[in-house]
Amino acid sequence: MGDGLLSHIDEHGAARMVDVSGKAVTHRRAVAEAAIHMKAETLAMILDGRVAKGDALAVARVAGIMAAKRTSDLIPLCHPLALTHAAIEFEPIVEGVRIQAVVETTGTTGVEMEALTAAGVAALTLYDMCKAVDRGMSIDGLRLLEKVGGKSGTWLREREPQ
């Protein structure tokens, strides 16, 4: 792509699924992140394993992995992919949790949407697990950090200064 045209729109302006049959099979990897912000007390409950619904991080990890596997069921023009790896990691931050999703495949199209979906669903699951005690939580910062593989090669988001 890279020509400024939208690949999911045909010459008549209609939505279409991109034909990837002529693309090379390569190893593809994408990393995405999101953050969920909450009261300090809510974060402590998560980290101490005191959430009434159970182990919030374990449930969110499984939800994120499941979401990566089902992305094409949620995003209409995504190709169904045979993923070779999906992982969700959590990092406590000031009054919240940073979520990072890593997704990989060997195929003809990338896994950016799968990584973004995984991070987003993991964040939504933490919200669901904790909403009874903290309805003021907010989710933000859903973004792609890295994309590797395919014709366009590697793309890395420039890190903001800390």
Listed residue (33, 90, 94) closest to 56, CA to CA: 90
- In this structure, are residues 93 and 34 in contact, taking their beta carbons and an 8 Å threshold? no
Pick the catalytic residue from 19, 48, 128, 140: 128
Catalytic residue flag (residue 128): yes
- In this structure, are residues 46 and 97 in contact, taking their beta carbons and an 8 Å threshold? yes
Cβ atoms within 10 Å of 24's Cβ, excluding its own: 10
Cβ atoms within 10 Å of 71's Cβ, excluding its own: 23
Residue written as token pair 């919240």: 96
- In this structure, are residues 86 and 28 in contact, taking their beta carbons and an 8 Å threshold? no
Cβ atoms within 10 Å of 95's Cβ, excluding its own: 14
Encoded amino acid at 81, one letter = L
Active site residues: 128
